[in-house]
Amino acid sequence: MPNQSGNAYGLTVLSPLKEIDGSGQAVIPKLRNLIQSFNELDTTPMAKVPNTYLSRLWILEDVFFENYPHELEHLKSKYLVFTSNFHGELDTYLEGMFNAIPTEVQSIWQDCYGFDDKALSPEGFKSYIKKCQVETTFYFNGSTDDSLQDQLKSLYIKQEFSRFVFDNAHKSSEELLTAFKAFIAETQPTADFPRWKPGESDLSDIIDRGNNDHLSTN
């Protein structure tokens, strides 16, 4: 089924770009600088959008010419391309995206044709994105088809259990039982937290303890 594979949704959006913004500035270099600036942040803004498995933003200026005998073709416009693989339904995801990062949404799409004041609300943003959506049949998602929160919890448990095995491999059965009870109390496998944070690129500060601030850190 196009756009959906299990619980994963593949969203592809092509938004036609203006050449000049309202202040007379060229849009493409300005937008390219904005997108690249996200790489300088500790975590991408998309890490705040619930259930995002993977997303990308880039500028499509033209298509490749595959040499003769193919016909030379050009795009009628330059496009901002947004792709996202996420868990759940499209409407819920887009509403969560607008509510999580409204400033970034406006900054990213403000110089696209059709993105006007009507798009600056959850309903308006959903309507705009759907107008620019194209069918998706190719997925980048390699997840377990569970929600992002469940997968972050599973990754956290896997990492911590590996640490537990390494630290306790040579203990007696009594010591091992005591250590395992402490491990369960620390990791709380059936609770939402602690778990990994979304959007992190290394393990130095990856644990999200939610409201469980009383728990000790390793």
Handedness of CA 199, 204, 208, 211 (dihedral sign): negative
pLDDT given at position 209: 92
Q: 74, 62, 84: which is closest to 129 by C-alpha? A: 84
97 or 70: whose pLDDT is higher? 97
pLDDT given at position 141: 67
Q: 56, 125, 49, 46: which is closest to 84 by C-alpha? A: 56
pLDDT given at position 61: 96
Q: 111, 105, 149, 145: which is closest to 125 by C-alpha? A: 105
Q: How far apart are CA 8 and CA 142, in angstroms?
A: 10
Handedness of CA 166, 167, 172, 176 (dihedral sign): negative
| Res. 103: pLDDT tops 50 | yes
Q: How far apart are CA 137 and CA 206, in angstroms?
A: 32
pLDDT given at position 218: 33
pLDDT given at position 37: 96
Contact criterion met (CB below 8 Å) for 87 and 112: no
Q: What is the pLDDT of residues 34-65, one digit of tens each?
A: 999 999 998 899 999 999 999 999 999 998 88
Q: How far apart are CA 80 and CA 59, in angstroms?
A: 5
Q: What is the pLDDT of residues 8-42, one digit of tens each?
A: 999 999 999 999 999 999 999 999 999 999 999 98
| Res. 194: pLDDT tops 60 | yes
CA angle 128, 129, 134 (to 5 degrees): 125
pLDDT given at position 213: 45
Q: 160, 162, 159, 154: which is closest to 192 by C-alpha? A: 154
